[in-house]
Structure 1
């Protein structure tokens, strides 16, 4: 299932005249006075000539713009590529602008093998941003085709940088490669057809693909889930012939300081159950396991980076199908830990499986607990298709948003208004699984909050990430983001783990 190509990332100095490649990528910004060629590795004379030609070539520098033409004698690359970096001045280019520009070029240069990227990269941080962008952009999902695609992704990228001799660069490039691989693997899992990826096969993929890594994988099947009282998972997944699973992934290095617990929603296909969804667009509900895929690959990346932090992941895997054994609207189920929930709508199923995961994770009393889920359509109504909503403990919530900003992802802190709690009261059980329709993203968070446990008499710091929009892109590709699975929030979780590991 995880089938992405291996990408070789290397760095060289900016003296690239003798460096052969399929293409050489240069950057152009959309300045206030027109397009400007930036960080040219060529002589002043050649650079001036190229700059003067930009208008004739219809180059604007807009983001995602890519203009190719035959290379001249100044380089051994076969073609010269001008990549738009967006509306910036060269001196104010952000690492995310470099990441997106490099990723867009890598995405659009599929079919080539080796490409040199001569974008602004004077520091290890900038070089790493270019490398990471390439690693995110060089992707293609090819698992279900009878013959390989005609244009496969890049297999080798060379980063031209003035920091090529900096001792910090090798580690920065390694991190970029690891993050890129983790995001591509997450996309693979999200893009796989739901008749191929279901709870048992997902669990087996986790076990098989982590061999050789310092990770312990424990799989709870339906018999164990029933015995131990995982009522949310069994209630949601009981109607399918493909029974639910809980997968626990543990990374516990010897010198770990803090303990981070991650819970991921893994609904491998969501029909809505008895409260069935409309047929139009239902095929995209294979993406409802993106939260589980995200935390799975974030933990793999954390292990590959060797971060000194204990991380435990809980993948809550189920298929939500209508059937004779399905949960009905009006049923009352008993969750892990004993709380009862009246199910008013079987399409509000994600919060039920996540509740079991939160209870299980809380029992280990971690220092921080984060859940990631494609949970509500209300998230997209509130924040659009590219911005994750983050709710929960204010300090941890803000740390997640800060980590997202550092990683180049978009997240927004949202409240959990106290007036929403009474709306999930039930007439017959401890809670109802739906409440106030308006502000539904926040209502779902209020429900999840009921299942977060305590450590030493104090509620465990918890944050909830709703990635319903950012996890799956049904619109045109942009930057390093392809259509369908995006791998959203993997980099945010890794950045947060790095912050926690380095904190005193």
Structure 2
């Protein structure tokens, strides 16, 4: 259905002369008295000469800056690229600074074939961050451009990382993990970037089958007839206005020794295009609404990454997929629908549709009694007002949100825990149904989280299933300029966080 060009990743411990490249990337930091060349494979003489001319060359050391110089024989390269890592906190660049700088350099050096990254990387953790950034930076979406177009540059195909930690088991594991994460994030980006004429509910379900081929993942698809038979009223109501019927996709990864593994369910919002329905959106920026399925894409990519990495946790994704269109068949404001849980919802605004499909997904996930449920969705514009375009909102039970926040911090993804104030629940009261789909405007992100919480079920002992909600309305789609390892348009936000969270769950279960 689509293809992603992936950069091959390798590491060497010394002597770049034996590894010819089109460019060798060397780090430059912002020092208190000007730019500072970081440790590099350059000879002392050449390093001193470059350090002395950094200001003249315009190399500031600021993040995302890149200055190209002619190569030197000692590095066997055509270009030396001076990449900014920003201001240093402490003795050296942090893993996140290395991740972003390497991703930025690889992204900006598109058009070259082989790039060597010579940032200071004394440990396997540093190597891992550089490799991850490179895998994320080697991405572009060019499916609909002429191959001969001047705007189309091939991504860097090969990345060689210079690190004394190379040639070790830890280095090999770091490179393998970075490749899997890069593929997962870039798959999410490509799904988000696809035009809605190509990615619609049925084709999204087909893409899930295609991506899961050869992996220990079971794919189950509910079509509109089965959705109706089994009471998935939320998904059906949202999708009924479209000529393209909705789908529910269940993707189950079961590791070996599954009986000892924790079970985590992910529920993803998959609105392949959101016009707002009868409560139609303004025309301005409606084109961005092809990205309203980013949550489902992230959930699917996370399951695939878990399978590729062999994470020792059972991971199930529920992709709640529909196209929200206005038509003679579309749901109307004031309609009442009955969701999978049996709870009725008065639809006051058909543009608050994501929570309706998610309600069904959360109920279905709850029926299987997992150890935790995490939903991920481009749910509210209010999240962007509150947290901006780069930070995800985390809501729910502290045991889950705290672990997700720690995972996000470890991956360098911006996320922030938000409350779910009890007093906002009254705003969702309906005079004719169990709950309304919108409440008061203030605190809209929080009210949406409170709505979702109503559909999370209980364990067999009567206690609520631990749950968290991730609102990625801001960071999932970048309408500004590319930065670091993040391209324009689809970003793949929070996939790496979810994978790291699952790794933590598996490690905790094994200990």
CA distance in 2 between partners of 1:208 and 1:10 (Å) = 28
After superposition, residues 390-469 of structure 1 pair within 5 angstroms as 390-456=394-460, 457-469=462-474
Q: Which moved more, 1:27-36 or 1:71-80?
A: 71-80
> Is 1:218 aligned with 2:220?
yes
Alpha-carbon shift at residue 90 of structure 1 (Å): 6.9
Q: 1:29 touches 1:90 (CA, 8 Å); kept in 2?
A: no
1:308-336 C-alpha deviation (Å, 9 max, x unpaired): 10001000000000011111000000000
> What are structure 2's unaligned runs of at least 5 residues?
none
Secondary structure of 1:5 counterpart: coil
1:199-255 C-alpha deviation (Å, 9 max, x unpaired): 000000111221101100000000000110000000000110000000000001122
Secondary structure of 1:233 counterpart: helix
Q: 2:270 aligns with which of 261, 266, 276?
A: 266
1:37-92 C-alpha deviation (Å, 9 max, x unpaired): 11211222221111112112111100000000111232210111000001115724
Secondary structure of 2:329 counterpart: coil
> Is 1:293 aligned with 2:297?
yes
Aligned to 2:357: 353
Secondary structure of 2:311 counterpart: coil
Secondary structure of 2:91 counterpart: helix
CA distance in 2 between partners of 1:96 and 1:2 (Å) = 30
Aligned to 2:34: 34
After superposition, residues 129-140 of structure 1 pair within 5 angstroms as 129-140=129-140
CA distance in 2 between partners of 1:471 and 1:406 (Å) = 18
Aligned to 2:5: 5
After superposition, residues 462-501 of structure 1 pair within 5 angstroms as 462-501=467-506
Aligned to 1:112: 112
Aligned to 2:337: 333
CA distance in 2 between partners of 1:162 and 1:385 (Å) = 37
Secondary structure of 2:468 counterpart: strand
Q: 2:14 touches 2:164 (CA, 8 Å); kept in 1?
A: yes
CA distance in 2 between partners of 1:75 and 1:146 (Å) = 35
Secondary structure of 2:234 counterpart: helix
> Is 1:316 aligned with 2:301?
no
Runs of 4+ in 1 over 4 A off after TM superposition: none
After superposition, residues 151-190 of structure 1 pair within 5 angstroms as 151-190=153-192
Aligned to 1:145: 145
> Is 1:199 aligned with 2:213?
no
1:159-218 C-alpha deviation (Å, 9 max, x unpaired): 000111332110111000100011111000000000100000000011122110110000
CA distance in 2 between partners of 1:335 and 1:500 (Å) = 31
CA distance in 1 between partners of 2:49 and 2:73 (Å) = 13
Q: 1:29 touches 1:89 (CA, 8 Å); kept in 2?
A: no
CA distance in 1 between partners of 2:377 and 2:72 (Å) = 50
Secondary structure of 2:316 counterpart: strand
Q: 1:142 touches 1:148 (CA, 8 Å); kept in 2?
A: no
CA distance in 2 between partners of 1:284 and 1:446 (Å) = 26
CA distance in 2 between partners of 1:275 and 1:319 (Å) = 14
CA distance in 2 between partners of 1:114 and 1:90 (Å) = 32
What is the alpha-carbon root mean square deviation over aligned residues? 1.0
After superposition, residues 234-249 of structure 1 pair within 5 angstroms as 234-249=236-251
CA pair 19-271 structure 1, distance change in 2 beyond 3 A: same
CA distance in 2 between partners of 1:82 and 1:201 (Å) = 43
Alpha-carbon shift at residue 148 of structure 1 (Å): 5.5
> Is 1:252 aligned with 2:254?
yes
Q: 2:6 touches 2:138 (CA, 8 Å); kept in 1?
A: no
Q: Which moved more, 1:67-76 or 1:103-112?
A: 67-76
Alpha-carbon shift at residue 6 of structure 1 (Å): 2.4
Secondary structure of 2:271 counterpart: strand
Secondary structure of 1:495 counterpart: helix
Aligned to 1:282: 286
CA distance in 1 between partners of 2:32 and 2:39 (Å) = 18
Aligned to 1:66: 66
Aligned to 1:306: 310
How many correspondences in the alignment? 504
CA distance in 1 between partners of 2:4 and 2:360 (Å) = 32
CA distance in 2 between partners of 1:14 and 1:32 (Å) = 31
CA distance in 1 between partners of 2:463 and 2:202 (Å) = 36
Q: Which moved more, 1:139-148 or 1:276-285?
A: 139-148
1:422-459 C-alpha deviation (Å, 9 max, x unpaired): 11000100000000210100000000000000112110
> What are structure 1's unaligned runs of at least 5 residues?
none
Alpha-carbon shift at residue 337 of structure 1 (Å): 1.8
